[in-house]
Chain A
Amino acid sequence: MWLEKISLLNFKNYEELELSFSEQINCLVGENGSGKTNLLDAIYYLSLTKSAFSTTEAQNIRHQAPFFMVKGLIHKNDHDYQIQFSVQGGQKKVGKNNGVNYDRLSEHIGSFPVVLITPDDTDIIKGGSEIRRKFFDGLISQIDSVYLENLINYNHVLKQRNSLLKQFAENNNYDSDLLDSYSDQLLDFGAKIYAYRKAFVSSFFPTFIAHYDNISGQKETVKITHQSDFASGNYRKDFFQTYQKDLVLQRTTKGVHKDDFDFEINGFPVKKYGSQGQQKSFVIALKLAQFDIMKLEKGIKPILLLDDIFDKLDDLRIAKLVEMVAHHSFGQLFVTDARPERTQTIFQPIEAEKKVFVIQQGTVIDESFM
């Protein structure tokens, strides 16, 4: 699968843009603030019907413009797909595939997979447990729709249970049968979610390790551990023993919504002790493992979007990454870099079709094969 053409109208800092890409390696170079990340974001948008960075659609519309449009021509399994999304200020987003409107945009998600690696990804390490659960939940859901169903059900029961705990406190009453009715369901869905996550982490781990070892040159040992209240053989009993606490705090204090994934390098938490380069290597390995799993599930190589991937990495680690590229482990690749010479040095020796786009203030001022 590959993106041959993109055209943008009023997307972020691009007023109007039309580009043809290489099927293999595309380097986007330019100064800070020129629009490299925005272009990657437009590609991300074509796959996931939303920006990876903006929280509202309004942020994607170029300042003072009335609408934006992102259009792409994608080739997949000998078929051509003209994909288009547009948002008119304040109106519903419209999505089209070969001229036919999507009834629901969710139909589109998953058809043209991309994996984006950005500097923001270190939030997976530095942020709260919610970000890590979201990362793994997203991955497991792609593999098994029943998991997603369980997750939705669990969250729904959780909301009802929390709302009930609040009402108990407000009305100063308590009905253990009613609370039990929610607890039982929460434990049933929770046990399934726990089992899924546990199984997933153990199948994901070897893939992750392989990538980390490769990038780091096997200098460090890494580990991912799934933490859960459900890991205890007594989780049912434990759960019912927290009723008092739940009633006081008016929320559910135990369950898979509290699960976490501990990341370690050489036996110490990456969050606290990992260097910036180690943290970066860790998330790159996580994302490359994600790439492998998606490739396996969908039977096609996702488009790989690498934003400022070389910053903070030492020469050895960069060389390892480039080696993977050279061995054609990936499909189509987009790489941004604020330093054109570095990109030149890194990609020059690789035998592949390479195209360089020089970006300046929302326009491409030069494009050439390397």
Chain B
Amino acid sequence: MEYPSKLIEDAVNEIAKLPGIGKKTALRMALHLLRANEERTQLLADSLVNLRTKTQYCTHCHNIADAPVCAICSSSKRDKQTVCVVENTTDLIAIENTSQFNGLYHVLGGVISPLEGVSPHDLNIDSLINRVKDLSLDIKEIILALSATMEGDTTSFFITKKLRDYPVKITTIARGVPIGSELEYTDEITLGRSILGRKAYEH
């Protein structure tokens, strides 16, 4: 693409590095900013710089926080005996949005994958074990809510093995047929797992 100015080209190149944004969209955004009030751009830039420089990670659960301890960990309304283990903040937000979970979280920062050079030490697994070990925290249940991929499964296996000597209950989220979908259109693997993971019917 040819650009009328080097300044626009630089901006487009930077914006297009964001996930899901191509050069065309980036150009549209850049031109939009030029047309709008200069103040708008200043506010956007400030918020981005603040996001990057002022964001902290909760020392307990590694969630994104404004303070050393995040809002969830410091809330008195949460059930502190149940910890839900997730891959990243996106997954944490997704579970929060269901309003079905009132416990605490632990953000791993990824899943184990030797092929991609991700070992347990690159993840927040040790700190999870330390939380469980710390009897004063009185954690009774760990819910493993990792993706249904091989890497997610391996990470779940590994954590389970590491926690086997501690008096904590380990559960994993149910996997099965999506609500509102027809059985016959569910893929064989999911359907197979749902049959194997069946549960008693609740009246």
Contact = CB atoms under 8 A, between A and B. Distances in A.
Interface in A148-184: 149, 153, 156-157, 159-161, 163-164, 166-167, 175, 177-178, 180-182, 184
A185 B120 contact: no
Interface stretch (B49-57, B84-92, B99-107, B157-165): B157-165
B182 interface: no
Given A160-B114, A178-B112, A146 B188 contact: yes
A329 interface: no
Contacts of A157: 150, 154
Contacts of A166: 114
Given A145-B188, A167-B119, A175-B120, A181 B158 contact: yes
Contacts of A153: 150
Contact of B154 (A145, A146, A149, A182): A182
Interface string B107-122: 0000011110001100
A175 B119 CA distance: 11
Given A178-B158, A181-B158, A185-B157, A149 B119 contact: no
A320 to B, nearest CB: 41
Contacts of A145: 188
Interface in B135-182: 150-151, 153-154, 157-158, 161-162
A243 to B, nearest CB: 15
Interface of B: 112-115, 119-120, 150-151, 153-154, 157-158, 161-162, 188-189, 192
Given A145-B188, A156-B150, A181-B112, 16 more contacts: A149-B188, A157-B150, A160-B114, A160-B150, A160-B154, A163-B114, A163-B115, A164-B114, A167-B114, A167-B119, A175-B120, A178-B120, A180-B161, A181-B157, A182-B154, A185-B154
22 contacts: A146-B188, A146-B189, A146-B192, A157-B150, A159-B115, A160-B113, A160-B115, A160-B151, A163-B114, A164-B114, A167-B114, A177-B161, A177-B162, A178-B112, A178-B119, A180-B157, A180-B161, A181-B154, A181-B161, A182-B154, A185-B153, A185-B154
